[in-house]
Amino acid sequence: MVDMAAMGTTMKDMHQTDRNPTMTEPKISAKNVNVFYGETHAIKDVTVDIADKTVTAFIGPSGCGKSTFLRCLNRMNDTIDIARVQGTILLDGQDIYDPRIDPVQLRAQVGMVFQKPNPFPKSIYDNVAYGPRIHGMAANKAELDDIVESSLRRAALWNEVKDRLDAPGTGLSGGQQQRLCIARAIATSPEVLLMDEPCSALDPIATAQVEELIDELRANYSVVIVTHSMQQAARVSQKTAFFHLGQLVEFGDTGEIFTNPRDPRTESYITGRIG
């Protein structure tokens, strides 16, 4: 059995966020999603609703399919030849796998930040301006400058790089690079931000900065974050989904999942017995 009292005290030590998101119409609604990589059945019948202006964490042991499911939400699995997605995923009620939906425009709406910082080998300015440029979001240089500045400000990077916007993005430190990638992702004004283990390549200080940023981003976006760290899920998310062997085992309020899990597998995982 889990020692509830011990768990509770640990939780109090963490930076607790609001546990009562207003549950309205879900931003993303996935029903009976199955994903196959060739013969491998990677995601099995997952149904989940993701709320707007909320941070939703996907946790689970390695290879459980949480990243794969995340990549379904902006159709990044389309870029893998052998991947096949079944089921429906609705974004604001619109099926994103509908043939009429252009994955290119979908990805502008659903931004993504990757595990390893992957700034383009271009200047900091060009990294952030890349999305707005290809989507024609700025009519002139001044508007583009504004978008770049506000994106960098929201990514809490502006003060560190405002004097060297022409320097290459690859020359920044790891944490700065990841915040640059976040700025790049939010520059296209997405409605949903997907984050695939955004802190796994960062040191604790950079991690804290990014986590703080995620909490601020919640005001404007629906954020979905995949993480290996249960503490991180507890710190930043309001909703948590636990995946195991391609199945969604449990989904609920973060506080609930960590203090009072219903499924024995969830309990085993958060107490460190599996995974």
Partner 1 sequence: MTSAAFIVLLAATLTGYWLNRRAAREIRARGERLHSLTTYHGLFAALSVLVPVLVVILAWLLLQGPVIDRIVLSGLPDEAIANLDVNERSLILSEIKSIASGRVFGTPEEWKLAAADRLNDLRNLSGWLMVAVSALLSAVILFVTRRRVSAGFRARDAVERIVSGLMIFCSLVAIFTTIGIVLALVFETSKFLSMVPLTEFLFGLNWEPQIPIREGQIAAEGAFGWVPVLVGTLVITVVALTFAVPVGLFTAIYLNEFASPRLRAVAKPVLEILAGVPTVVYGFFAILVVAPAIRSFGASLGIPVSPNTALAAGGVMGVMLIPFISSFADDALSAVPRALRDGALALGATRAETMLNVLFPAAIPGIVGGVLLAVSRAIGETMIVVMAAGLIAKLTINPLDSVTTITVQIVTLLIGDTSFDNPKTLAAFALGMMLFIVTLLINVLALRIVRKYREIYD
Q: Which residues bind partner 1 (CB under 8 A)?
A: 74, 76, 79, 81, 104-109, 111-112, 114, 116, 118-122, 130-131, 134-135, 181, 184-185, 188
Residues counted in the chain: 275
Between 188 and 237, name the residue whose CB sits nearer to partner 1.
188
Is the CB of 26 or the CB of 131 nearer to partner 1?
131
Residue 45, H or E segment: strand 40-50
d(CA 176, CA 117): 9
CB of 204 to partner 1, least distance (A): 23
User: In angstroms, rounded to a whole number, what is the distance separating the alpha carbons of residues 16 and 40?
Assistant: 38
Cβ burial of 17 (10 Å; 0-12, 13-18, 19+) is: middle
Question: How near is the Cβ of 99 to partner 1 at its closest, in Å?
Answer: 17
Find, among 235, 237, 234, 241, the residue nearest to 258 by Cα: 234
Alpha-carbon distance 176 to 256, whole Å?
A: 33
In the complex, least distance from residue 129 CB atom to partner 1, rounded to whole angstroms = 11
- Token digits for 24? 């309205």
Residue placing its CB nearer to partner 1 in the complex, 33 or 129: 129
- Name which of 74 and 227 has its Cβ closer to partner 1: 74
Q: How far is the CB of 71 from partner 1 (least distance, A)?
A: 9
Cα gap 27→52, rounded to integer Å? 5
**Nearest approach, Cβ of residue 154 and partner 1 (Å):** 16
Measured from the CB atom, is 65 or 119 closer to partner 1? Answer: 119
- Contact call for residues 161 and 152 (beta carbons, < 8 A): yes
Least separation in angstroms between CB 131 and partner 1: 4
Closer residue to partner 1, CB minimum distance, 36 or 130 = 130
**DSSP per-residue letters across 168-225:** BGGGS-HHHHHHHHHHHHHTT--SEEEEESTTTTS-HHHHHHHHHHHHHHTTTSEEEE
Shortest distance (Å) from residue 233 CB to partner 1: 22
- Burial grade of 192 (CB within 10 A; 0-12, 13-18, 19 or more): buried
Smallest gap from Cβ 73 to partner 1, in A, equals 11
Q: With respect to partner 1, which residue has the nearer C-beta, 13 or 81?
A: 81
**Rounded to an integer, what distance in angstroms lies between the CA atom of residue 21 and that of residue 222?**
12
Closer to partner 1 by CB, 31 or 116: give it: 116
Residue 177 C-beta-side C-alpha neighbours within 13 Å:
20
